[in-house]
Each structure stands twice: as structure tokens, then as C-alpha cells.
Structure 1
Amino acid sequence: MHVLLVEDDAVLADGIRRVLQGHGMAVDVVHTGTEADWVLGHSQVAVVVLDIGIPGIDGFEVVRRLRARGSNIPVLLLTARDAIQDRVHGLELGADDYLVKPFATPELVARLKALVRRSNPKPAELQVGRLTLDPFAKRASVDGQPIELSAREWAVLEYLMQQASRVVSKQQIIDAILPWGEEMTLNAVEVYVSRIRLKIADAGVAIRTIRGFGYMLEKADTP
């Protein structure tokens, strides 16, 4: 579960980050509304924890821009303000929930998990040829026989299957599978694709290299 935390108080942000990471969540932290708006326009996250009173554009404007782009990423607002109209305004703009500071961290964790559950119903299985991926259980199989994949191999294969029959570049793969702020080289993508090819060699699936563009996963030609 990938969380974007937007909080300008560095001490509080670090404390929240540690709590969420302790519950198995991946957490990116930014401290201004401008940074948050950029990240949300260029990266995929599961949920946003957003302080209203942040530098740059405020939390309200971050939500407004997010919804104007058509994104349905769940947003939980954090505020030290007691005025009911501020909470109402945030919800009217498209926020999904709020917590008033100070708050209990177990409640924050529970609310985030509930928001993600409501916004992400069980994903459908992906299938190309005889290769099947279950995104919910994180299992890959060929004719029912499991395939052992590392976390990065899984992420690359899942993205390629989501984009089946489309050409995707190495950079698109990197942008899709990595949390914002992490890095991966183009050569590393080649290595993961090479390993995946070996593991799905008998699955009736081909990952074709489209020279100068990237890769395309499709059902293999049958003799």
C-alpha cells in the first residue's frame, strides 16, 4: 500500500511515516502543496494523507486539482483547525475523510486501510496465453503451476500484462512500478525482462523487444 504523506512539520511527518511503515506501507513524504501536486500528477499512489495548512498551494487546492484531473485516489485530510466549515469545504472539494490533530495513530492506520479497501475492489485476474496473474493474491502461474518471481519481476510482469499488446518503454515501466523518489536504471529493466522471459518460456506468451521503443507482451504465435 503506497501512501503519499503531505505534512510540513518534519517531526510529525517522520513519526507518521514510521508508524505507517511499521504496518507494511510504503510512504513517500513531501512538505509543500506544490510538491504534492507534482507527485500526484506524475506517480501512482494508493492513498494521500494531506495536511490542509501546508506551504505553497494549500491542501484544499491540492484536492481540487487532483479531482479536476479526474483522479479518484482517496484523500484523508489532516487539520488542526476546529472550524466545521473547513472540514465541510474539504469534503465538498472531493476529500474522502479527515482527522483533526492531535489524533491517535491506530485510528489513522485504520481509516487509511478502510479508504483503500473501499476504493480498490478485488482486482480481476490477468491472463495472456496460459499465463495467469492474480493481482490480489500476488500469484503467477502457468496452467495452474506457480511461477516464482521476485517483487520487482512481479511488478514488471504485472505492468506488461496490464498493457498487453501495447508497446511500453523502459521508462514507462520504471515510472509505473517504482514509488516516487526511488530510482532504477534502464539496464535493470532489461535484466528483469530477461529473467521473466526465462520463467514464462512455456506459457504461450512472448515479450517482444520493439527496437527503439520498448517492449510488448502478447500471446505467442502458435506453430
Structure 2
Amino acid sequence: MKILVVEDNKKLASFLSRALTEEGYVVDVVPDGATAIGQIQSLPYDLVILDWMLPEVDGLSVCRTVRQKGCQVPILMLTARAEVPERIAGLDAGADDYLAKPFDLGELLARVRARGRRGAGGEATVRVGPLALDRAERRATLDGRKVDLTPREFALVAYLAREAGRVVPRTELLAKVWETRFDPGSNVVEVHVKNIREKFGAHAALIETVRGVGYKLGPLEA
């Protein structure tokens, strides 16, 4: 699943992004409603986690705007406004679910998993050659055989699968999977790719190294 978190509180946004990434999701974060509207319209998300109180354009306005434009991406609204009238207003504006702050992380993750199982916003399973990724259950199989991946390994494979056939730069992987905006000079990506290839066994060549650039996931050439 690819999730957009819209939250202007940097500490909370970082916490949510880290928690969701560790669960194997691909996460983008934006701090305001105007940016969120553009992002939702231009990129395919499976879920938007949206704060109500945002600078300039609030969460209700974001909901109304994207719904008026025909976008049906599922929206989970987070807000300190927990009274019934506010919950009704959020749902009427186009939100699909509602969670009051302060919230329990376990409950939020359970709601995200439930949304993934419904497969709304896109196909629940991504297939690249013999590889199948169930984004809702965060399960990977090769020719029907389960591959045990760590949450970070799954997030890395899921991102490469979403971009299948394209060479994904190492810096992009660091930004999207590790949330690192600069190259720390470590070999963390290479280590994870090596571990994934070992688990892929005979299908290790599914992940191609493009020297000096990054990695590409694609079906094996005949």
C-alpha cells in the first residue's frame, strides 16, 4: 500500500511515517492541505491519513476538493475534534473513517490493515513475473512459495515493484523507504538488496543492479 500522510506537526508526521514504513507501507508526507490536494491528484495512493487542522487549507476542505474532482481515494481523518457533530462533518465532507486524537497506534494500524484488505484505491496484489506482493497482508510469494521478508525488506520490494521496469535511484530508495533526504554514505540499501536476493533464491536476478544509479525490479528475460 502507498499512503499519504498529511500532517503539519513535524513530530507526529515523523512518528506516523516511521511506524507505517516499519509495517511495510510506502509513505509520503506533506505538511499542508494545498500540497496534499495536488499530490492526491497527481499520484496513485491507496490511503490518505489526513489531519483536520492544517495551515491555510484545512482537512475538511481537502476532502471536499478531492471528492468534487472525482477522486475516490480512501481518507482516514485524524483530529482532536471528537464531538459527534465534528465527526459527522468530517464524514459528510468525504472522509471514509475518523480517528480522534490522541489515538492508539495499534488501532490506527488496524484500521490501515482493514482498509488494505478491502483493496480500495488500487489492486491489493501486485505481480511482477513470478513475484506476487499482497500489500494488505504484507506477504510476498514467488511461484506461490512464501518469502519471509522483514518489514523494511517488504517496503523496499514493494516500492521497486510499484516502479517495476524503471531504474530507481539509490537516493530515491533512501528517501521513500528509509525517509532519509540525504545519502549517509552507508551501504544500507545494498545490504537489504543482498538479503532479499538470498531469500529470492533462484529468482535473485529479479532485482537488477544498475551500477552507479540504483536498482530495477522486473521479470527475468527469456
TM-score (norm 2): 0.58
1:172-196 CA deviation, whole Å, 9 max, x = no partner? 3234435x68988573112211222
1:155: which partner in 2? 155
The number of aligned residues is 203
1:51: which partner in 2? 52
**Does the 8 A contact of 2:160 with 2:216 survive in 1?**
yes
Q: Does 1:203 align with 2:187?
A: no
Q: From the superposition, tell whether residues 193 and 93 of structure 1 become closer, same or farther in structure 2 (CA, over 3 Å).
A: same
State the secondary structure of the residue aligned to 1:220: coil
Q: From the superposition, tell whether residues 135 and 96 of structure 1 become closer, same or farther in structure 2 (CA, over 3 Å).
A: closer
Which structure has the greater CA radius of gyration? 1
**Does the 8 A contact of 2:129 with 2:220 survive in 1?**
no
**Does the 8 A contact of 1:75 with 1:97 survive in 2?**
yes
1:49-90 CA deviation, whole Å, 9 max, x = no partner? 4234x55433334435656695724142647498969955x5
**Does the 8 A contact of 2:170 with 2:214 survive in 1?**
yes
State the secondary structure of the residue aligned to 1:165: coil
Q: From the superposition, tell whether residues 60 and 207 of structure 1 become closer, same or farther in structure 2 (CA, over 3 Å).
A: same
2:169: which partner in 1? 169
Separation in structure 1 between the aligned mates of residue 115 and residue 143 of structure 2, nearest angstrom: 35
Q: From the superposition, tell whether residues 56 and 125 of structure 1 become closer, same or farther in structure 2 (CA, over 3 Å).
A: closer
Equivalent position amino acid for 2:177 in 1? I
**Does the 8 A contact of 1:165 with 1:216 survive in 2?**
yes
2:193: which partner in 1? 193
Separation in structure 1 between the aligned mates of residue 182 and residue 143 of structure 2, nearest angstrom: 34
CA RMSD of aligned residues (A): 5.0
Segments of structure 2 that go 5 or more residues without pairing to the other structure are none
Q: From the superposition, tell whether residues 45 and 185 of structure 1 become closer, same or farther in structure 2 (CA, over 3 Å).
A: farther
1:153, CA displacement in angstroms?
A: 1.5
2:75: which partner in 1? 74
Separation in structure 2 between the aligned mates of residue 85 and residue 182 of structure 1, nearest angstrom: 36
1:139: which partner in 2? 139
State the secondary structure of the residue aligned to 1:219: coil
State the secondary structure of the residue aligned to 1:76: strand
**Does the 8 A contact of 1:125 with 1:134 survive in 2?**
yes
**Does the 8 A contact of 1:37 with 1:66 survive in 2?**
no
**Does the 8 A contact of 1:128 with 1:161 survive in 2?**
no
1:202, CA displacement in angstroms?
A: 0.6
**Does the 8 A contact of 2:87 with 2:98 survive in 1?**
no
1:123-154 CA deviation, whole Å, 9 max, x = no partner? 1252424x443334433333444333222112
**Does the 8 A contact of 1:47 with 1:75 survive in 2?**
yes
Q: From the superposition, tell whether residues 37 and 167 of structure 1 become closer, same or farther in structure 2 (CA, over 3 Å).
A: same
Separation in structure 1 between the aligned mates of residue 101 and residue 126 of structure 2, nearest angstrom: 41
TM-score (norm 1): 0.58
Separation in structure 1 between the aligned mates of residue 83 and residue 158 of structure 2, nearest angstrom: 44
